[in-house]
Structure 1
Amino acid sequence: MEARVYTETRKPLRAVPLLREVLGSYPVTHTREFALYLSWLAVALANANEPEEAAAAARQMVEMTATVPSSRAGNRRAVVLAALRPYKGVPDVAELLDGCPPA
């Protein structure tokens, strides 16, 4: 929860390490929850001006949520893609955005 708060308050330098720690120990079998944490990581990385890393986290999140019927995950997907749009000139981000039409 603390990492999510830091992400939402645009304090990525505090959020990113916490989110990486959570994701490192979170069971990937909990697909929806894992994808939601990836979404906060992607946004935090975008806020930290790390678009390539943000795109990598976002791609993993998008792939995971493609098979999970969850409106919350769908809403987070839209938030993540919006956070990445300012970086559409970065090849990794452009590739992701081109492959993910808005929900």
Structure 2
Amino acid sequence: MSLRAPARFSAATLAESMQSALDYEIASEKASSLGRAGDAVAKSMALLRAYDGEAAERRLLLKQAADAVWAYFIQRELCGLRRHDDAIREYGIPREVLVRLGAK
């Protein structure tokens, strides 16, 4: 006599639930990473706006801001967000930072 496992424990159902759990974890990590990248942009924009000193140090802040914005844009694209106009407005990213990313 052989026994059959209940349908809810079948290999196909188990594989689907594992894939669903993995998809959830990946989406969660993407969202967390996007949040951290957004925090870095906000911090770099605040430092850039608050700075009122020598041009050499300002160039360093501009480079750091451009790096943070670039990383944020890449993370947005990985999350499926292709247009960055809303992020540029939200964070108040100045043109001088965008030019360093290749914007015209």
TM range (shorter): 0.3 to 0.5
Taking structure 1 as the reference length, what is the TM-score of the superposition?
Answer: 0.44
Taking structure 2 as the reference length, what is the TM-score of the superposition?
Answer: 0.44
Question: RCO greater where, 1 or 2, for CA within 8 Å and sep 6 or more?
Answer: 2
